[in-house]
Structure 1
Amino acid sequence: MPLAFLTSLYFEGYPRWLPEPWRLLKATTAISTIALTKWYTSGRPNPAERNMHGRVVLITGGTSGIGAATAYELAQRGAQVVLLTRLPPTDAFLAEYVDDLRARTGNHMVYAEQVDLADLHSVRQFATRWIDNAPPRRLDMIVLCAATMVPPGGKRVETEEGVEVTWMVNFLANFHLLGILSPAIRAQPFDRDVRIVVPTCSSYIASPRLDVEIQEKEWTPQTAYARSKLALMVFAKAYQKHLDAYKRPDQLPMTARVVLVDPGLARTPGMRRWLTRGSLWGLLVYVVLYFFAWLFLKSPTMAAQSLLFAAMESSLVRLPGGRLFKECMEVDCARKDVDDEEVAKKLWEASDKLIERVEKQQAVKRARAKKEQEKSEEEAKKAAQVDEIESLVGAITRGKAKAAKETQKKNGKRGKAAGSSTNSYKLRRPPFSILSGPHASPVAHGYVYQDAPRGDGKSAGPRL
């Protein structure tokens, strides 16, 4: 076919049905440029592979975006995936999502646990339940994919506990979770490769220093997000040192590793919310210009490749922890204060104090609410008892009234019956009496019949 085409092109000239060479060159160049740009922006695929059967993985943010793609890939490789979500496992959406993930991966070892990262008490409840098991539960990996951001131009938002929501979800909740799960991580056997995968973002480069407090007037969504990511990176480095400082009872080295990952920019719900500024008009512009979002942003699956590399690369267990990976390659941190021990110490102490203060306040509120609830329940119980007694008294009263009414009816019937029997007796009385004596008339046998005296009260029967 190509030979025949070239032959006709040589002998018959350029065919009319083909575009002009210049147009064809421009179209080919445009298509090639788009293809190369998309190939470059899609990122590098994960070159590592690992058998994940039997491994227990805790993952936050595993129901959307990069976290969902990571959970799918790990479940497909046989890992036991525990999704930490703010929704309860009985929620209809979450139950359907878990069933769908099990069906698509063929792995039924996918579960969900309720952990609201905007609530420190919820984090403590889950982590405490996890470490209370004896013997310690198996734990091979923790992937912290959950994050939130306020759209540009938005106002500062605080959780019910009074903490700024970006700082709470992106940093403080992860700090609290890993702090409580630390005994469970250190209790794992020596031959178990435990990894804590911490996704971050290049926005940490523009963050202000952590030892400088941001005034409320200076707060912006961009600054809050960048600062939370910088704090998470500083804590991840310090947490690796915290694990390395632990001396195992068997005198063997600690094999747990903290791995920092920059997945890049992807078409996730968070990125869409950021680009659209959380408005319908922004969403309309996003839909119209979706081609550019598709061209320059990764898909969630390709963004998850670096996380999968951090989870499955076997050589990482032989390297020191706290390294940063991007596009499945190790890169250096762009800021020196990420490794500053003094900054990490101050951040750790300040976070501990903040958590302690917030939990005390919330404990007092919960105790007060519990006391009020018990009081209201006691009052409701007393009211129910009073209502029960009143209803019982009313029932007794109505029963007595009904009995009296029935007795009255019976008495009335008896009176009527007695009256009717008296009247009939009087009617059956004979109208005459048989008398004897001086008033008797001379008849046969010496007996006479005379009218009975009326009203004498004596029997009207015959008398001799």
Structure 2
Amino acid sequence: MVLGILQAVVSNYFPTQFALHIAGGIVVALFIRAFSQGRRTNRERDLHARTILVTGGFTPLGLTLLQSLAQRGAHIIALSPDPIDSANVTILISLLRTTTSNEQIFAEHCDLTSPSSVRSFCTKFLTGKEQRLDAILFAHEYKHIGSPNIFSTSSVDVDQKTRDSGSLTTFLISTLLLPALLVAPVERDIRIINVVNPFYAAAAGVPFSPSFSYELSSPTSSSLFLREGHRSLRTVVFTRHLQRVLDALPTATQVPRTEEGTSAVPVVNSRVQKSNITTASVSPGISRVDTISPLLNADWTSSFGYSYLGMILYLTFQPLLRLFTKSPTAAMQTILHALFLPTPFKVLAQATPGTTEKKDTKSQGPIEASHLEMPEEVLRPGSLYADCAVVQVKVKMPDELLEEKHSRQDVKTHPKDSGKAKGKPSLQEEVLEIADDGEYGGELGGRLVWEACERALKIWEKENPGPPPEETPRPQSNPQATATRPLESVKEEEPESVY
């Protein structure tokens, strides 16, 4: 009976003379979908006993990422804007623990739109017993912000403030938690990964501006995609410059000895890797849920409202969206690739006896990359990754900034000694000597972004002072879900930002 019905349907709607065309169309559709989903990482890594801090963990991409990390045994700390005893947080944490058989999944309250909440979490973490961090995944900046006027329910200024607050949160957490990362053992492989939206290419063709809306009276551009691209490119430039700062710090140490009893400390040439803390920017691509849905303002679960027209279009074009855009699982692959790729330090530490590496460990000089048995790919510190590959983006700097850079170089080459007191250190001795590699805006672009972040951070904190210290609500754990990890009570002290 069933076969007869099936045969009737096939004969009526799929004539045999068009069988070849139908088969060809199916093959083309499958090819387009496979191409649009992008590459999948070919790496794997055991994450047991690795502590990973994740922001944006309760977004569609973030939840998929949390599940993937938990399945590999990672100790996860997910920051939640909602109280940790709320139903959505406790249910999700319990569900992740049950499905992945991993009890080391915790949530901590941290409102990423509030600088006081961010500082409170960082202070609590730095003064707690457990300060180990093996990776920080900033996934909160990936979700698209803003939509065309026909779908929009918020103003351009509000959306721009949201973009800038997300970028300032990344800067604030990175600088506040940096002391804990710098005092970690040098053999520990620490990674800071910033997830950015895929519209960075839209801002790469125009003169780069590091300014935030907190410093300007209006957004830098009237184009939605250009504003999103500017946010993404600015984070990429900051990530690259953060790697330069880490490499220039006096505490940047080479990889320690790889086996007991060796008198020499083998090192990798600084052109390959210098600091055990590596940074990377990741663009997961255009996601159906995190990019298209916010673009059409079609998220009916949002508490800020949604567009009926956008929701209808989003549901109507679901077949095409599933064909041409990425799912959260496919978008996550590049993030995992940057997290799983080995570093030159890691390759040297895993060198087995009897290989070339063991022979080279007896020498005092640096080990060149050509002398190591490198895998086919290692993580490039400070680079931008998209579709599991490094992307080179040329950041166009304005001519007036380039002229200012050349003038500063001339002053540095010919310093003036007038009025200098004896024994007083010069300004040059107090400033880090950061090499200019010319990548992603070079040292000039990175320094301008860093300085713009510091200026905008002061304005952001002034506009969002937060509750007084005595009235600051402390997160309470739910005894049933135990979503939060135990941390000691802390003093209200402000950690210093490191540059």
Higher helix share: 1
Matches within 5 A, 1:311-326: 311-315=339-343, 319-326=379-386
Deviation at residue 257 of structure 1 after TM alignment:
0.6
1:335 aligns with 2:356: no
Matches within 5 A, 1:61-460: 61-133=56-128, 137-147=131-141, 148=143, 149-153=145-149, 154=152, 155-158=155-158, 164-169=161-166, 171-207=167-203, 208=206, 209-211=208-210, 216=218, 218-248=221-251, 253-276=274-297, 278-315=306-343, 319-335=379-395, 338-360=440-462, 362-363=464-465, 366=467
Deviation at residue 189 of structure 1 after TM alignment:
0.8
- What amino acid is aligned across from residue 143 of structure 1 in structure 2? L
Question: Tell me, which stretches of 5 or more residues in structure 2 are unaligned?
Answer: 1-10, 256-273, 299-305, 346-377, 398-439, 472-499
- What amino acid is aligned across from residue 79 of structure 1 in structure 2? A
Residue in structure 2 matched with residue 401 of structure 1 by the alignment: none
Contact 1:186/1:254, CA 8 A, preserved across alignment? no
Question: SS at 1:311's partner residue?
Answer: helix
Contact 2:38/2:330, CA 8 A, preserved across alignment? yes
Q: Deviations over 1:315-367 (max 9, x none)?
A: 4656541112222122222535533322221221121122224334544x745
The answer to which of 220-229 and 87-96 deviates more is 220-229
Matched residues in 2 for 1:264 and 1:75: separation? 23
Deviation at residue 66 of structure 1 after TM alignment:
1.7
Distance 1:72 1:185, change over 3 A: same
TM-score for both structures, normalised by structure 1: 0.69
Deviation at residue 230 of structure 1 after TM alignment:
1.3
Contact 1:140/1:193, CA 8 A, preserved across alignment? yes
Matched residues in 2 for 1:86 and 1:17: separation? 55
Matched residues in 2 for 1:287 and 1:30: separation? 23
Deviation at residue 293 of structure 1 after TM alignment:
0.5
Matched residues in 1 for 2:56 and 2:344: separation? 24
Question: SS at 1:248's partner residue?
Answer: coil
Deviation at residue 90 of structure 1 after TM alignment:
0.7
Residue in structure 1 matched with residue 38 of structure 2 by the alignment: 43
Residue in structure 2 matched with residue 33 of structure 1 by the alignment: 28
Matched residues in 2 for 1:368 and 1:120: separation? 13
The answer to which of 70-79 and 225-234 deviates more is 225-234
Q: Higher RCO, 1 or 2 (CA under 8 Å, sep at least 6)?
A: 2
Deviation at residue 286 of structure 1 after TM alignment:
1.3
Deviation at residue 282 of structure 1 after TM alignment:
1.4
Contact 1:152/1:222, CA 8 A, preserved across alignment? no
Matched residues in 2 for 1:290 and 1:358: separation? 39
Contact 2:246/2:252, CA 8 A, preserved across alignment? no
- What amino acid is aligned across from residue 453 of structure 2 in structure 1? S
TM-score for both structures, normalised by structure 2: 0.65
Question: Tell me, which stretches of 5 or more residues in structure 1 are unaligned?
Answer: 1-15, 371-464
Matched residues in 1 for 2:171 and 2:45: separation? 28
Residue in structure 2 matched with residue 390 of structure 1 by the alignment: none
Question: SS at 1:93's partner residue?
Answer: helix
- What amino acid is aligned across from residue 25 of structure 1 in structure 2? L
Question: SS at 2:107's partner residue?
Answer: strand
Deviation at residue 81 of structure 1 after TM alignment:
0.8
Question: SS at 1:84's partner residue?
Answer: strand
Distance 1:168 1:17, change over 3 A: closer
Matched residues in 1 for 2:135 and 2:176: separation? 15
Matched residues in 1 for 2:321 and 2:446: separation? 37
Distance 1:37 1:142, change over 3 A: same
Matched residues in 1 for 2:211 and 2:169: separation? 21
Q: Deviations over 1:413-456 (max 9, x none)?
A: xxxxxxxxxxxxxxxxxxxxxxxxxxxxxxxxxxxxxxxxxxxx
Deviation at residue 215 of structure 1 after TM alignment:
5.4
Deviation at residue 179 of structure 1 after TM alignment:
1.0
Matched residues in 1 for 2:50 and 2:86: separation? 26
Deviation at residue 130 of structure 1 after TM alignment:
1.3
Deviation at residue 221 of structure 1 after TM alignment:
3.7
Matched residues in 2 for 1:19 and 1:139: separation? 58
Contact 2:41/2:337, CA 8 A, preserved across alignment? yes
Q: Deviations over 1:290-312 (max 9, x none)?
A: 10000001110111011111111
Deviation at residue 158 of structure 1 after TM alignment:
3.8
Contact 1:81/1:109, CA 8 A, preserved across alignment? yes
Distance 1:158 1:201, change over 3 A: closer
Deviation at residue 71 of structure 1 after TM alignment:
1.1
- What amino acid is aligned across from residue 293 of structure 1 in structure 2? L
Percent of matched pairs sharing the same residue: 26
Q: Deviations over 1:267-287 (max 9, x none)?
A: 224431213464111111211
Q: What's the C-alpha RMSD, in Å, of the aligned pairs?
A: 2.8
Matched residues in 2 for 1:18 and 1:226: separation? 46
Matched residues in 2 for 1:368 and 1:299: separation? 42
Question: SS at 2:79's partner residue?
Answer: strand
Q: How many residues align?
A: 350
- What amino acid is aligned across from residue 295 of structure 1 in structure 2? L
Q: Deviations over 1:6-33 (max 9, x none)?
A: xxxxxxxxxx999655311111111111
